[in-house]
Structure 1
């Protein structure tokens, strides 16, 4: 049994007796051919963190979009502070005190941080002109509260994904909210930024704000929440008191079965060196990095956001030009000046942001899978649809892709299945080296297990895999060796069978 940090049993008992601040009763929502929500009921008390869990596609985001006015329910009622409400749109939701912090960032990149934070409620001077002095001062105070190191006047397009997420969170602090929904808020945050976020959540609790917290990360759920509601296939499968349940029980409710115990494959004799970098440097992003990945092994790359992990991957794949160093494939020095060069040398990259960098969301699953092989699926400038279909059929089956049809736009798939489409796209090029950046970011626990198994199977088949991840359990559970990065340099290399968590944390912290 696990206990909640920062809350005494007396406090938890007192909160448990409070009348619901928010009550969602019997909400049903149907889209063409899909019942997204089926008679869902949920309540949140003042000062409570109520976790909402479920696999991708279980209905979590749909339920929150109904609450925030993005969707209208077919049936059901919503009460706030005991009064029935009907939320016609996001603006009305904010007016009522309901704030949704999206998993998918909804920022205007060309605008400043301050303008994004106060979008829709910009401070005005006489005659309706924006009061920029007040705008930047107010935004600066919010950034200070979040411990951000960037300025209110910075353009959002210049920020990292992690910093953009902090701007999204900052929006919630503009209002005097009654209910705040956090949808995967830590997916892009460093450990230090998570601490700040958790402090913000606890300060909101102290102000009797009700929190709905959506996350796939069990450690966060058991640290923050008082109760957990689990959705599966659009229906509530149970509401549990966090201190009285276990991760195994929550997982069984989420996926309808127990997860197979996670175990790495037994160590195999190392193959030949498939990828090797020596003295690789790129400006201030990373310096003098050297490592190798052998055929048949998974090498994990671990470090804090900003340590240079993604930039190293992008340089190997030809998206960045190195200042110094060399890249070897099968022992031979190769020149990689662009992604086509990397592909020609048998290197593939599944990027960190699958939606922004790995997929064309409006296109079908089949068309996305064939994007990396247009030369082989075209004849005299015309696409060979049968060749495209053969690629899709092969990898949809191999990856156990769950999609209604090859025609389905990838935007309609769950995060785990979108990642499978990305992997199918690159596996079709028959790579010898697969670089996969944050393979399970924003993916539910069941799909994570499938992706981890797939990575191990690819390595067992002789592929060299370089896996970049921010999740320590993932790195420890999937890798054969682990590279620890600190401030753009390789701080240490570990054998995954013998490394301790303490040693890994010390290495990425510069200790």
Structure 2
């Protein structure tokens, strides 16, 4: 039987990988719908004591929704949850906390001014007589915890002074020993970790699972990590449970096929939008040669032509986002290699410098880095480009400003319920993103770097935004578009570059697009350099 032709594989998901393991958490018949659209359907899973259970699937498979339901931050449309023998229809975060179900989320907002000790025990401070917080006891307990996991840190140090890797590990320590998690849910925790800290985390997980019989639910994208750390693996696809199996009964290739699924037609290139680059005259305006930066990426080479949309895809932590941030002038220091804009060598000192040379970068950190919170939509659209609208006396010509704002609003279909003078914070995520795209367009740039341009945008706005980039933005511009959603790139790109462990390992030309092969390349499986022949270098088809 061809596994890829099977939509749902029925298995006994309640079978233990060991007869001695009891069910800690049971998900039975759970579904979830938003506005009549099912995002989860009839999920049946058992999570056992003393096991690491992996949940894996593409973006949009339903992993995050399932985690939200299991942690009590979302309610299912149907089904039940049974935690240590007690059945609950609708779990609340308070109940989850009481039952020691603890989530370490993918993104955590840190109170940077707290000490490590305060960060560990926030919400569960050790008390002394009359209920006062015992700082001395908190410091002693924190020191013991840090020593227990081999972190040589002063508990009185600021959490904000630590590397992201150390902060992530401290979140896991807090969940396990300060909140005493009996079921620990790790959502993409390894994405920010290097090899050393990943190894330390895995050792910690194995220790608490084998010695303390805790349950760890490990959400991830990297197949090698899932295979290494998990006892059993469950695959989600399109909101359905496809298979649960012992890790020993799977290999990476099997797992990749289960994750992709669907028919060959679904996975091959499909022309959703009308962007065509075949008839244009070729004019390379952006060229990178042997570019390296710290440990983030190395020996990266490619070029982009006017009228071309080139995608770059990788797992979180693979270096694709860091590459765009460096090119956009957001990373400190200078890498090695060469960057050419219209045959002129440039060094990305800062974003303003790069814009002055015709290159604009749209960050994937919209709320933190791109939006001017508290200011109007007009201010956010024009940004720092007000000089474009001043007369000889230095006065702003507001008539021209509003003409531009109205034009961008119509072109991008930005919904402004209270007008362009209203505060940007009142817009939806999709409309905020359109505002930021519009801001870049107002600079008349030659090269656009778009990092996760459709992230956090609902499906309707997502399609319109991608369609606009494909059909309009790329007409007079070279576009480099980074994403970890393969299908978005397949919809709009002429080529897709796959980055793995900081290196471009595959280049797929449009006629060779195949979701299964691209996904495998993301994992480092079967990479061989290029798919298709359209030029003289690695980025154009021959390495």
TM-score tier, shorter chain, comes to 0.5 to 0.7
Question: For this pair of structures, how many residues does the alignment match?
Answer: 434
Task: Indicate conservation of the 8 Å contact 1:310/1:437, yes or no.
Answer: no
2:243 is aligned with 1:216:
no
Q: Which residue pairs with 2:188 in the alignment?
A: 184
SS at 2:87 equivalent = strand
2:417 is aligned with 1:409:
no
Q: Please give the per-residue CA displacement for 1:259-316, whole angstroms capped at 9, x wherever unaligned.
A: 459xxxxxxxx987846899999xxx89xx99987555999999x9899x95995586
Task: Indicate conservation of the 8 Å contact 2:300/2:504, yes or no.
Answer: no
Q: Please give the per-residue CA displacement for 1:392-440, whole angstroms capped at 9, x wherever unaligned.
A: 379xxxxxxxxxxxx9822799xxxx8x998897578565455677999
Q: Please give the per-residue CA displacement for 1:104-126, whole angstroms capped at 9, x wherever unaligned.
A: 21432332232222211011222
Given candidates 45, 48, 51, the residue that maps to 2:48 is 45
| Equivalences for residues 291-306 of structure 1 within 5 A | 295=304
Distance in 2 of aligned mates of 1:457 and 1:428: 24
468 and 209 in structure 1: CA distance in 2 versus 1, 3 angstrom threshold: same
Shift of 1:24: 1.4
2:121 is aligned with 1:118:
yes
| Equivalences for residues 80-479 of structure 1 within 5 A | 80-85=83-88, 89-148=92-151, 150-174=153-177, 175-206=179-210, 207-233=212-238, 235-243=239-247, 244-245=249-250, 246-253=254-261, 259-260=267-268, 274=286, 295=304, 310=322, 313-314=325-326, 317=329, 329-330=341-342, 332=344, 338-351=350-363, 353=365, 356-357=368-369, 379-382=399-402, 384=404, 386-389=406-409, 391-392=411-412, 409-410=428-429, 431-433=445-447, 448-450=485-487, 457=494, 471-472=500-501, 475-478=504-507
Q: Which residue pairs with 2:67 in the alignment?
A: 64
Task: Indicate conservation of the 8 Å contact 2:25/2:84, yes or no.
Answer: yes
Q: Please give the per-residue CA displacement for 1:426-483, whole angstroms capped at 9, x wherever unaligned.
A: 57856545567799999xxx95434665897379xxxxxxx996x4287312499xxx
Distance in 2 of aligned mates of 1:255 and 1:61: 25
Larger mean Cα displacement after TM superposition, 148-157 or 215-224 = 148-157
Structure exhibiting the larger radius of gyration computed from Cα positions: 2
SS at 1:55 equivalent = coil
Task: Indicate conservation of the 8 Å contact 2:56/2:233, yes or no.
Answer: yes
83 and 472 in structure 1: CA distance in 2 versus 1, 3 angstrom threshold: same
SS at 2:67 equivalent = helix
Task: Indicate conservation of the 8 Å contact 1:273/1:331, yes or no.
Answer: yes
TM-score, normalised by the number of residues in structure 2: 0.61
SS at 2:355 equivalent = helix
Q: Which residue pairs with 1:463 in the alignment?
A: none
Distance in 2 of aligned mates of 1:474 and 1:341: 26
TM-score, normalised by the number of residues in structure 1: 0.64
Distance in 2 of aligned mates of 1:440 and 1:221: 27
Shift of 1:190: 0.8
Cα RMSD for the two superposed structures = 5.5
Distance in 2 of aligned mates of 1:306 and 1:140: 33
SS at 1:111 equivalent = coil
Q: Which residue pairs with 2:81 in the alignment?
A: 78
Which runs of 5 or more residues in structure 1 are unaligned? 1-11, 262-269, 395-406, 460-466, 481-495, 499-511
Shift of 1:44: 0.6
Which runs of 5 or more residues in structure 2 are unaligned? 1-14, 270-281, 390-397, 415-425, 457-482, 510-527, 531-543
Distance in 1 of aligned mates of 2:374 and 2:27: 32
